[in-house]
C-alpha cells in the first residue's frame, strides 16, 4: 500500500505522517508512508486542505489530522 | 491519543449516544456556570491581587498584576465559547463547497460572497497555496480568490470574540465591517487590474485531477465533537500568545502614564496611522496575542483608528504568508496585493480617527 501525506511541512502534516507511521507499526500493515511537500505535486492531486492523505491514489481525508481509528480502517482494506 | 487525556464526556462515542434531550440541559448548565464564573472575575482578581498577594492598591505593580489576573481567565473563557461556537458553524462549511459556490460568480457579488465565506470556511494559512491553485483552476476569478484569502485571516472568530469581550460590541462591529470592506475592496481592485498573467506559469499548467470526495454526513452531535476539537486545537496553539499579549498589555496598563499614547498614537499625529501599518506588516502574531495589547493601548489614549490599523496589518499581512504565496504569485502581484491591502487599512485607520 502506498500512502502519501500531502502538506508543506506544517505541524499538522507532521503529526498526520507520524500517526500513520504509528498505526503501521502497531498493526504491521504492509504500507509505506511518503511525505509530499512540493507545492506543484500537492496541487496536482486537486486537494486544497493540508494535510491530505492519499492512499493508492485515493483521497482519504483532507484538511485535518485523521483519527487513529480512521487510519486503521483505511489500512485494513 | 490526545483525547484520552481529557475527560471522558467529550469522547465521540459518549456524545453520539446522547439524545438531543440530554444535550440541551447539559449545554444550558455549562453556559450558566460559564456566566457565573465570568461575572465573578473582577472581584476574584481584585481579591487575589490585594488580599492574597501583598500588593498596595494604586501601585503600578498592583495595577499590572490585577489586569493580568483579570484578563487571562476572561480572555480564555471568551475564546473557549467563541471557538466552540464557530467550530460548530464551520462544520457546515468546507473549502470544497466554498469553491464550488464561488466558481463562475460575477465580479462584485463574488467579492462580497468570498469575503463572507472567508470568515466561516475552515482555513489555515499553511494551505493558502493549494487553496489558491484549487480556486483559480476551478474558474474562481483572481480578484474573488483574493477577497477570500484576505478575509480568511483578517476577519477571524478569535479577534471578533475578544474584541466583543474586551472592548464592547461597537468595536467588534467596526472591526467586522471594515475587515469585510477591505477584503471586498482589495479583491475587487486586484480583479480590475487584470493581473492574471502575474500568476506563476506552473499554476495554470498544472493538470489538476478533479477529485471528488464523498461528503461526510454529520449529525449534530458530530458537530459538537467538531467544535470541541476546534477548542482543543486552537486554544492549545494560541494560549501562549494570549498570555504573552496580556503580560505586555498588563505592563502598559500599570506602568505607562495616562496620555502618553495620546501623543504617539493619538488623533493629532497624522503619521501615526502609516507608521502603525509599517510596524505592523512584518510583525507576525495572531489576533489572540495582539488584542490584549490593543486594549491596553486604547486605555492609555491611543486613537481607535490607529490601533485598528496596527492590529489589522499585524494579522492580515504577514511575512511568512507572503513567502508562501510567492510560490504561486510573481513579485508584481505580491506587491500589488500588499499595496492594495495596506491602502485599505490606511483608509480605515484615518476614517475612524476622523469620525470617532
Q: Could you report the per-residue pLDDT of B16-61, keeping only the tens digit for each?
A: 566 667 777 888 888 888 888 888 888 888 888 887 787 777 788 8
Residues of B in contact with A59 (CB under 8 A): 211, 213
Q: Which chain A residue has the Cα nearest residue B326? A: A39
In the residue annotation, A61 being an active-site residue is answered as no
The single residue of A5, A6, A13, A42 carrying the catalytic annotation is: A13
Mean pLDDT across the stretch A64-70? 80
The CA-atom distances, in angstroms, between B2 and each of A12, B11, B79, B308 are: 13, 11, 20, 37
Q: Which of A25, A10, A19, A8 is nearest to A66 (CA)?
A: A19
- The CATH code of the domain at A2-66 is 3.40.30.10
In this model, does residue B7 exceed pLDDT 50?
no
Q: Is B127's CB within 8 Å of A44's CB?
A: no
**ipTM surpasses cut 0.85:** no
Q: At what angle do helices B128-137 and B142-154 cross, to 10 degrees?
A: 150
Q: Is A49's CB within 8 Å of B130's CB?
A: yes
Give B145-174 pLDDT, tens digit per residue. Answer: 999 988 988 887 788 878 887 888 888 899
Which of A31-40, B209-218, B335-344 comes out lowest in average pLDDT? B209-218
Q: Is A50's CB within 8 Å of B328's CB?
A: no
Place of cell 454529520: B218
Per-residue exposure over B32-67, b if at least 16 CB sit within 10 Å of its own CB, e if not: eeeeeeeeebeeebeeebbeeeebeeeeeebbbbbb
Strands (E), B217-290: none
Which residue from B94, B95, B130 is facing A43, i.e. has the nearest CB? Answer: B130
Give B345-356 pLDDT, tens digit per residue. Answer: 999 999 888 877
Give B295-315 pLDDT, tens digit per residue. Answer: 888 888 888 889 889 888 888
Where along chain A do its domains lie? 2-66
**In A, residues 22-51, which contact B (CB 8 Å cutoff)?**
39-40, 42-50
Where along chain B do its domains lie? 10-206+220-356
The whole-angstrom distance between B212's CA and the closest CA on chain A is 8
Q: Is A8's CB within 8 Å of B129's CB?
A: yes
Amino acid at each position: 500500500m502506498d500512502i502519501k501525506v500531502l502538506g508543506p511541512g506544517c505541524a499538522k502534516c507532521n503529526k498526520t505522517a507520524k500517526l500513520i507511521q504509528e498505526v503501521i507499526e502497531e498493526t504491521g500493515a504492509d504500507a509505506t508512508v511518503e511525505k509530499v511537500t512540493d507545492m506543484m505535486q500537492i496541487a496536482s492531486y486537486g486537494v486544497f486542505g493540508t494535510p491530505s492523505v492519499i492512499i493508492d491514489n485515493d483521497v482519504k481525508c483532507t484538511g485535518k489530522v485523521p483519527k487513529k481509528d480512521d487510519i486503521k480502517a483505511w489500512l485494513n482494506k | 491519543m490526545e483525547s484520552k487525556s481529557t475527560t471522558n464526556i467529550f469522547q465521540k462515542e459518549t456524545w453520539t449516544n446522547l439524545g438531543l434531550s440530554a444535550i440541551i440541559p447539559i449545554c444550558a448548565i455549562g453556559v450558566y456556570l460559564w456566566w457565573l464564573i465570568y461575572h465573578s472575575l473582577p472581584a476574584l482578581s481584585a481579591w487575589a491581587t490585594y488580599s492574597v498577594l501583598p500588593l498596595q492598591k494604586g501601585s503600578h505593580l498592583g495595577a499590572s498584576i490585577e489586569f493580568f489576573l483579570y484578563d487571562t481567565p476572561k480572555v480564555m473563557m471568551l475564546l473557549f465559547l467563541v471557538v466552540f461556537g464557530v467550530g460548530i458553524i464551520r462544520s457546515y462549511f468546507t473549502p470544497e463547497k466554498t469553491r464550488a459556490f464561488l466558481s463562475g460568480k460575477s465580479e462584485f457579488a463574488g467579492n462580497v460572497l468570498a469575503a463572507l465565506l472567508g470568515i466561516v470556511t475552515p482555513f489555515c494559512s499553511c494551505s493558502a497555496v493549494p487553496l489558491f491553485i484549487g480556486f483559480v483552476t476551478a474558474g474562481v476569478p483572481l480578484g474573488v480568490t483574493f477577497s477570500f484569502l484576505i478575509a480568511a485571516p483578517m476577519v477571524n472568530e478569535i479577534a471578533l470574540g475578544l474584541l466583543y469581550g474586551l472592548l464592547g460590541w461597537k468595536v467588534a462591529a467596526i472591526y467586522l465591517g471594515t475587515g469585510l470592506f477591505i477584503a471586498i475592496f482589495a479583491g475587487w481592485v486586484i480583479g480590475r487590474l487584470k493581473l492574471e498573467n502575474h500568476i506563476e506559469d506552473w499554476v495554470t499548467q498544472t493538470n489538476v485531477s478533479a477529485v471528488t470526495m464523498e461528503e461526510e454526513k454529520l449529525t449534530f452531535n458530530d458537530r459538537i465533537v467538531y467544535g470541541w476539537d476546534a477548542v482543543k486545537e486552537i486554544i492549545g496553539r494560541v494560549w501562549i500568545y494570549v498570555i504573552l499579549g496580556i503580560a505586555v498589555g498588563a505592563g502598559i496598563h500599570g506602568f505607562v502614564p495616562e496620555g502618553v499614547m495620546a501623543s504617539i498614537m493619538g488623533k493629532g499625529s497624522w503619521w501615526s496611522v502609516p507608521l502603525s501599518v509599517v510596524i505592523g506588516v512584518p510583525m507576525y502574531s495572531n489576533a489572540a496575542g495582539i488584542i490584549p495589547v490593543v486594549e491596553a493601548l486604547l486605555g492609555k489614549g491611543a486613537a481607535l483608528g490607529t490601533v485598528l490599523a496596527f492590529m489589522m496589518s499585524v494579522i492580515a499581512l504577514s511575512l511568512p504568508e507572503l513567502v508562501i504565496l510567492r510560490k504561486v504569485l510573481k513579485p508584481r502581484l505580491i506587491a500589488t496585493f500588499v499595496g492594495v491591502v495596506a491602502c485599505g487599512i490606511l483608509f480605515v485607520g484615518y476614517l475612524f480617527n476622523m469620525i470617532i
